[in-house]
Homo-oligomer: A and B are copies of this chain.
Amino acid sequence: MTAPRSAVAGELGTSKAAARIRAAAIEVFAAKGYGATTTREIAASLDLSPGAVYPHYKTKESLLYAISLEGHHAVLTAIRNSDRTDSPAGKRLTATVTAYVAWHARNHALARVVQYELRSLSDEHFGIIADLRRSTSKVFTRIIEAGAAAGDFHPIDTEAAALAITSLGVDVSRWFPSNAYSDPDVVAERYVELALRMVGSAS
């Protein structure tokens, strides 16, 4: 289950100052890795004293959690908003894979932090983020199931296909941009074609 919006906003820190700190932290975490970064460096990148971060984020972990919550909510919202549940499964998979892949390409620094630094979250925070990740995977699983039920898709293994689709999207944040692919829409288009094949789309 996803957390209610109000709770999320409260935990994230709604002030402009908190948003600036998160944006700076994303850049430093993505460049150096979470473990190698101190809140002092994040503050310094904004010309702030370490004490100026403290009222917003008491610990480095709370900052990572706020970023992870924001990032995972954003990607789940992106795919849900792109999904028209009354459309044929092929169209639904096209729209959601496009949204998912393009999000990871466009937000590759943020995506790298939220996808690769999960092990540094507290157990409680990890559990909340894991729920959001399951909700994201379920969007793809349900579309594949709907397509199979309608005879539009012929998956060999629905769970494996959903895993591969999410895995491809996540991994975009590791390699994007490359010499061959620097346009998020082009990557999304290629990956939609591959996703439709993976689920055995008839069209």
Interface string of A15-52 (1 = CB under 8 A from B): 00000000000000000111111000000000000000
Q: Could you tell me which residues of chain A, from 163 to 197, have a CB within 8 Å of some CB in chain B?
A: 163-164, 167-168, 170-172, 174-175, 180-181, 190-191, 193-194, 197
Contacts of A161 in B (CB 8 A): 194
Residue of B33, B171, B181 near A171 (CB, 8 A) is B171
From A35, A161, A194, name the one whose CB has the most chain B CB atoms within 10 angstroms: A194
Residue of B33, B164, B190 near A33 (CB, 8 A) is B33
Q: Is the CB of A164 within 8 A of B180?
A: no
Report if A157-B35 is in contact (Cβ < 8 Å); known contacts: A167-B175, A168-B164. Answer: no
How many copies of this chain does the complex contain? 2
Q: Is the CB of B194 within 8 A of A160?
A: yes
Q: Report the Cα distance A152→B115, complex, angstroms.
A: 37
Contacts of A159 in B (CB 8 A): 180
Residue of B33, B37, B156, B171 near A167 (CB, 8 A) is B171
| SS class, residues of chain A in contact with chain B | helix
Task: Report the minimal beta-carbon distance from A177 to chain B, rounded to whole angstroms.
Answer: 13
A116 at interface (Cβ–Cβ under 8 A)?
A: yes
Contacts of A13 in B (CB 8 A): none
Contacts of A164 in B (CB 8 A): 168, 190-191, 194
Q: Is the CB of A180 within 8 A of B197?
A: no
20 contacts between A and B (CB under 8 A): A32-B35, A33-B33, A33-B34, A35-B36, A115-B174, A156-B197, A160-B191, A160-B194, A161-B194, A163-B180, A163-B181, A167-B172, A168-B168, A168-B171, A171-B174, A194-B198, A197-B197, A197-B198, A197-B200, A198-B198
Using CB atoms and an 8 Å cutoff, list the residues of chain A in contact with chain B: 32-37, 115-116, 156-157, 159-161, 163-164, 167-168, 170-172, 174-175, 180-181, 190-191, 193-194, 197-198, 200
5 closest A-B pairs by beta carbon, nearest first, are A35-B36, A160-B190, A33-B35, A171-B171, A167-B171
